[in-house]
Amino acid sequence: MFDALRRDIRTVLARDPAARSLLEVLLCYPGVHALAFHRVAHRLWNLGWTTLARFVSHVARFLTAIEIHPAARIGPGLFIDHGVGVVIGETAEVGENVTLLQGVTLGGTSLKREKRHPTLGNDVVVGAGAKIIGAFKIGDGSRIGAGSVVVREVPPNSVVVGVPGRVTYRDGRRVSGIDMNQTDLPDPVARAIEQLTDRIRNLEAEVQTLRKAASETEIDNRK
């Protein structure tokens, strides 16, 4: 338990430039508190004390504004930044060194007792307000843009933006390490519109050329 807590604190110090000291992280970071509560609740859940586990989770939500179901599987190195409104469902699985910003939902789509929440691979970054809904996987090293709604599987090292979320690659290259930059995410819809606009310009130029040629031919025929 204490080893896990120390790793949580080191994770915050490594990824949040606003963190100044170990004591500040320990006392003032709700993401760290929520993970500590979750470890207790998860252990109780695995021992069969499901109601008590849910109560611990409920207390954690009241204190931190972060809701993690006791059955959810959380890997080491999770960083929940700010954390208000983060919801992690019962069958969700989170890999190593994942970053979740405020308002993220790992939600389900089924009413049956089955795998119905997403699985996040290692080194995934999910932007503020993003919703990942369904029993599919987000590949290792992927980034989900702020406000995106993801409803289908995402390949590794991808960037997802929009509603519904559209998968693209960052300049066709692998995204290495944990990248917190949310300001330069590509927009596939804007890119497609730009390409269509360029195509229309080219077609208009061709039409003008054909009209000019036809007009000159008509003049020659009259002569």
Q: What is the C-alpha to C-alpha distance for residues 223 and 219, in angstroms, rounded to an integer? A: 6
Alpha carbon distance, N-terminus to C-terminus of the chain: 96
Q: In what order do the strands lie in the sheet with 79-80?
A: 79-80, 99-100, 125-126, 143-144, 159-161, 166-168
Q: What confidence tens digit (pLDDT) does each residue in 163-175 have?
A: 887 777 655 555 5
Q: CB under 8 Å to 92, separation ≥6 — which residues?
A: 69, 72, 73, 106, 117, 118, 119, 120
Identify the top-confidence range among 21-30, 51-60, 178-187: 51-60
Half-sphere exposure of 59 (CA within 13 A, CB side): 11
Q: Alpha helix locations (H) across 49-187? A: 50-64
Q: Are 177 and 123 in contact (CB under 8 A)?
A: yes
Q: In what order do the strands lie in the sheet with 131-133?
A: 67-68, 87-88, 105-107, 131-133, 149-150
Name the pairing type of β-strands 159-161 and 166-168.
antiparallel
Q: What is the C-alpha to C-alpha distance for residues 24 and 111, in angstroms, rounded to an integer? A: 41
b/e burial code for range 90-118 (CB count within 10 A of at least 16 → b): bbbbbbebbbbbbbbbbbbeeeeeebbbb
Q: Is the pLDDT of residue 101 over 80?
A: yes
What is the percent of the chain with per-residue pLDDT over 90, rounded to a whole number?
52
DSSP label at 154?
B
What pLDDT is recorded for position 69?
Answer: 96
Mean pLDDT across the chain, nearest whole number?
86
What pLDDT is recorded for position 138?
Answer: 93
| Burial class of residue 13 (count of CB atoms within 10 Å of its CB; 0-12, 13-18, 19+) | middle
What pLDDT is recorded for position 45?
Answer: 96
